[in-house]
């Protein structure tokens, strides 16, 4: 039997109540188990400001993911992304311009109008 060792890193990422409900709804729609699945939160090179956020519902974490538990939702975060996500609050907003996830990131030094691209 092989035991998988998770990284000992932690990252402080929070979700608003609206974001939690949306993630749970997406997981239900995609028939992903709340016990094993979660939301992958990533930071990727690109976007108009240098980095962009990525969100994806996944059935299970990767071996080297940091797993953060928030209000019944698991967040899967890789070590590269964790350094840029510390202190970030993920929200969900719906208005006349549309709806989607929002990011309040204290590490961001700049951004653009799309709301999903930032510089650090």
Mean pLDDT calculated for residue range 69-97? 93
Residue 101, pLDDT score: 92
Give 3-51 pLDDT, tens digit per residue: 444 556 789 999 999 999 999 999 999 999 999 999 999 998 876 667 8
Residue 72 neighbours by CB distance under 10 Å: 10
Phi, psi of 98 (to 5 degrees): 130, -170
**CATH superfamily, domain at 14-119:** HesB-like domain (2.60.300.12)
């Amino acid at each position: 039997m092989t035991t998988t060792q998770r990284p000992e890193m932690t990252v402080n990422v929070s979700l608003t109540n609206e974001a939690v409900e949306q993630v749970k709804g997406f997981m239900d729609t995609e028939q992903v188990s709340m016990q094993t699945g979660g939301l992958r939160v990533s930071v990727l090179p690109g976007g108009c400001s240098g980095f962009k956020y990525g969100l994806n519902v996944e059935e299970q974490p990767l071996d080297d993911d940091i797993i953060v538990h928030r209000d019944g939702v698991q967040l899967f975060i890789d070590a590269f992304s964790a350094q840029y996500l510390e202190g970030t609050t993920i929200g969900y907003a719906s208005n006349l311009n549309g709806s989607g996830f929002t990011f309040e990131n204290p590490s961001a030094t700049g951004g653009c109008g799309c709301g999903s691209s930032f510089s650090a």
